Amino acid sequence: MIDPFGRHVSYLRVSVTDRCDFRCVYCMSEHMTFLPKKDLLTLEELDRVCSAFVRKGVRKLRITGGEPLVRKNVIWLFKALGRHLEDGTLDELTLTTNGSLLHRLSGDLYACGVRRINVSLDTLSPTKFKAITRWGDLDTVINGITAAERAGLKVKINAVALKGVNDDEVDDLIRFAHGRGADLTLIETMPMGDIEGDRTDQYVPLSQVRADLLERWTLKDIPYSTGGPARYVEIAETGGRLGFITPMTHNFCESCNRVRLTCTGTLFMCLGQDDAADLRGPLRASADDQQLESAIDEAIGRKPKGHDFIIDRGSQSPAVARHMSVTGG
């Protein structure tokens, strides 16, 4: 699949639920209204849409949410999608999770062919963790990470940089991740969805974090890529990798290879734009996948050039109204 700007679309992120067992302050408000269950694609339907994308050339699938592991019976979907790994039509099946259920599900994920996962962890302080996630428990997540590593999964830690909250903890996060052989990626907060607060209070440009790190660590740019938007450095002192995802300070749209499917079958061609294509209609219109595949082609044909996120005091409303938990990270 090639979009109007010549970019190959080979990566699909799929949000399998908008629900979550945490309420992270930058992602959700405490009192969220979730979609009625009847609006969701069934697991069989999610498998059908993902498989259509694989036939069309998608080589990497990331399952996300909301919290993907809270979706009932989600391992069934991993198992179903794992068949594309076995026949060689898919290179990677992966997952972004808050880690709260990894202590139970890591073994099953490995058995389905998952080999690498991203775990979101913004702080190593139990009190800050509670303050950021509102409902989460740090020990459960750290035990989950350990269980995942024991099961054979390669873990990458993702942390959203939050001004005055964890920007003084980056050194500790580096030591924590690299000390266990995991990569660490820092993410800038993006203006997505109403969150009961002002995002200018949370936003810290990663250019600033990087400049600060240079005072204590030796960072070397490296060409490493996992097919996502992160740019990596190697830290000489630890030998580990640190990634920066900088949607705000460095627009990475020119190399975008991704599209995103919501749990209701809406395809967003860009995380930061409202234009979307409904795939649920064509999916349900017939048992064969012809209409679905035409709808996918039509949607890729209007993938926009890029996002236009801004965070400043003048723009109080979010750039896109939907929450990150709808489109998936």
Q: Which range binds ligand SAM by CB under 6 A, 1-9, 183-191, 223-231, 234-242?
A: 183-191
Contact map string, positions 52 to 81, toward ligand SAM, x by CB under 6 A = ------------xx-x--------------
Contact 281, 39 (CB under 8 A): no
Output the six-digit token pair for 78: 């991993």
325 touching ligand SF4, by CB under 6 A: yes
d(C-alpha 327, C-alpha 208), whole Å: 28
**Using the rule CB under 6 A, which residue among 94, 158, 257, 266 binds ligand SAM?**
158
Our CB check for ligand SF4 shows the closer of 24 and 81 to be 24
166 touching ligand SAM, by CB under 6 A: no
13 touching ligand SF4, by CB under 6 A: no
Beta carbons within 10 angstroms of residue 281's beta carbon: 12
* Single-letter residue type at 288: D
24 touching ligand SF4, by CB under 6 A: yes
265 interacts with, out of ligand SAM, ligand SF4, none, CB within 5 to 8 A per kind: none
Burial of 289 (0-12, 13-18, 19+ CB in 10 A): middle
The DSSP-derived string for 76-122 is: HHHHHHHHHHHTTS-SEEEEEE-STTHHHHHHHHHHTT--EEEEE--
Contact 209, 170 (CB under 8 A): yes
Output the six-digit token pair for 216: 């204590």
Strands of the 11-15 sheet, one edge to the other: 219-222, 231-235, 241-245, 183-187, 154-160, 116-120, 92-97, 60-64, 11-15, 258-261, 266-268, 276-278
**Shortest reach from residue 179's CB to ligand SF4, in Å:** 24
Q: Please give the DSSP secondary-structure letter assigned to residue 192.
A: B
Q: Which range binds ligand SF4 by CB under 6 A, 17-25, 219-227, 244-252, 293-301?
A: 17-25
27 touching ligand SF4, by CB under 6 A: yes
190 touching ligand SAM, by CB under 6 A: yes
d(C-alpha 151, C-alpha 148), whole Å: 5
**Shortest reach from residue 213's CB to ligand SAM, in Å:** 19
272 touching ligand SAM, by CB under 6 A: no
Q: Which range binds ligand SAM by CB under 6 A, 185-193, 219-227, 258-266, 274-282?
A: 185-193
Nearest to 68 by CA among 26, 117, 116: 117
Q: Which range binds ligand SF4 by CB under 6 A, 39-47, 65-73, 81-89, 252-260?
A: 65-73
d(C-alpha 4, C-alpha 144), whole Å: 42
176 touching ligand SAM, by CB under 6 A: no
Our CB check for ligand SF4 shows the closer of 28 and 74 to be 28
187 interacts with, out of ligand SF4, ligand SAM, none, CB within 5 to 8 A per kind: ligand SAM
Our CB check for ligand SAM shows the closer of 189 and 266 to be 189
28 interacts with, out of ligand SF4, ligand SAM, none, CB within 5 to 8 A per kind: ligand SF4
**Shortest reach from residue 24's CB to ligand SF4, in Å:** 3
**Using the rule CB under 6 A, which residue among 22, 78, 176, 203 binds ligand SF4?**
22
Contact 155, 149 (CB under 8 A): yes
Place of tokens 């460095």: 250
Binding site for ligand SF4 (CB under 6 A): 20, 22-24, 27-28, 65-67, 98, 120, 325
